[in-house]
Amino acid sequence: MRKEKMAAGGSGVGAGTTYSMGLNLLLLVAMVATNILSLYHLSSSHRLFSSPTSPPLPLSSSSDQAPEHLLRQLHTIRATISHLSHLHTHPSDTSSSSSPPPPPELLLLSRLSAISSACASHPTLLRQYMNYTPFSPCPSSSSSLAESLLLRGCHPLPRRRCFSLIPTSNPSSLSNTQDPNFFSVRSTLDLSVPQLLRLARISGAAPINLALDVAGGSGSLAAALRRASNTTVLTTTLNLGHPFSQTAASRGFVPLHSPLQSRFPVQDGVLDLVRTGHAVNRWIPIPVLEFLVYDVDRVLRPGGLLWIDHFFCKGVDLDPVYKPLVSRLGYRTIKWAVGDKTDAGGVKNREVYLTALLQKPFAA
């Protein structure tokens, strides 16, 4: 057996050597042919211009150009040399390693509905996400693959024919409780629901019938506003499978998954209030924040309110970076409070909190 393997290995080496010698020979022949044609062209041009019996030709005459068939031959030979040189440098390219075929589920879905172009820009992740056994539980890696695709703009995610993994925890523990943060005020950074409703009446923004809570967590604001003013609140989460989503659902709210890179699933100019929660902070790139605040402007009605709740950033960046970002909206400032972020991370990075309540201009 060992002798057979050695013989096979020897034949492989011999074949590789023969292939390399053949390439070298072809390169040599092509280079010689190019040189011969170049010498022929130069000698012909020299005889043409140095003949004593021929009158001098103007430089613009077509006679000083190389014959068309000669140029075509030179071009062909040079292209051949380039191709042979590439094969000589990358011999493995001769056996083109084609990518594996797409999963059958991806092929089937692509025939039924359009797939986001951003998904197609990441074929490896897309194929991993769509590589599953139909009519069975979805793979355990589904959440991480889905997050990776969403962060790259693949939204909405392609549909699949598998059973999603259901959280086993019981989310009903908070379903009947109230978040004290929305009913009490501990510092100027806090804005309670009663304060919010009073400021809305003073500013002419009342009533608040429909609101959007970005990164709304367990739906505490939605519960507080429903109890205080019978407001309908759409609660969005930024991450898939967040346990707070189950809590929001147990409270009777629809937890929408809305990545920061995508438009809010809301029509233009229909909301009375948009709040951004703690998850909207300095870790989000500036361009993403800009698109976010202008999408807020899109969905707010004239006179609607933007509530920036405990946004945190480095203190040195607040005035030169984030304040102009908000000011460009041209909103009226109802509340603007800044305070130190006193936890370990805030002290280490010299971070500050910003809470602001801004009003979109009324229609002229």
Binning pLDDT at 50, 70 and 90, where does residue 57 land?
very low
* φ, ψ for residue 309, nearest 5 deg: -105, 110
pLDDT, mean of residues 240-263:
74
For β-strands 271-276 and 255-257, DSSP reports them as unpaired
pLDDT, mean of residues 257-273:
87
Q: Calculate the dihedral angle through the C-alpha atoms of 114, 237, 260, 332, rounding to the nearest 10 degrees.
A: 130
Q: What is the pLDDT of residue 56?
A: 46
Higher-confidence residue of 169 and 8: namely: 169
Binning pLDDT at 50, 70 and 90, where does residue 83 land?
low
List, for residues 181-220, the tens digit of each pLDDT value.
677 788 999 999 999 999 999 999 989 999 999 988 788 8
Q: What is the pLDDT of residue 97?
A: 53
**pLDDT mean across residues, the chain:** 77
265: Cα separation from own chain's centroid: 18
Please state which of the ranges 50-59, 81-90, 291-300 shows the lowest mean pLDDT.
50-59
CA distances from 184 to 88, 125, 178, 194, 240 (A): 76, 46, 11, 9, 31
Reading the block at residue 348, the tokens are: 């280490």
Please state which of the ranges 68-72, 184-188, 244-248, 284-288 shows the lowest mean pLDDT.
68-72
CA separation for the pair 300, 86 (Å, rounded): 59
Reading the block at residue 167, the tokens are: 């959280």
User: What's the first-to-final CA gap in the chain, in angstroms?
Assistant: 90
pLDDT, mean of residues 39-60:
48
CA separation for the pair 18, 339 (Å, rounded): 76
pLDDT value at 279 more than 70: yes
pLDDT, mean of residues 303-322:
96
Binning pLDDT at 50, 70 and 90, where does residue 9 land?
very low
Q: What is the pLDDT of residue 13?
A: 44
State which amino acid sits at residue 54.
Answer: S
Q: What is the pLDDT of residue 134?
A: 93
pLDDT, mean of residues 246-274:
83
Highest mean pLDDT: which of 135-139, 169-173, 262-266, 352-356? 352-356
For β-strands 210-214 and 271-276, DSSP reports them as parallel
| Spatial contact of 299 and 264, defined as CB atoms under 8 Å apart | yes
pTM above 0.75, yes or no: no
Higher-confidence residue of 295 and 43: namely: 295
pLDDT, mean of residues 305-322:
96
* φ, ψ for residue 276, nearest 5 deg: -110, 125
| Spatial contact of 173 and 148, defined as CB atoms under 8 Å apart | no
Q: What is the pLDDT of residue 19?
A: 53
CA separation for the pair 128, 292 (Å, rounded): 30
Reading the block at residue 97, the tokens are: 């390693």
Q: What is the pLDDT of residue 39?
A: 56
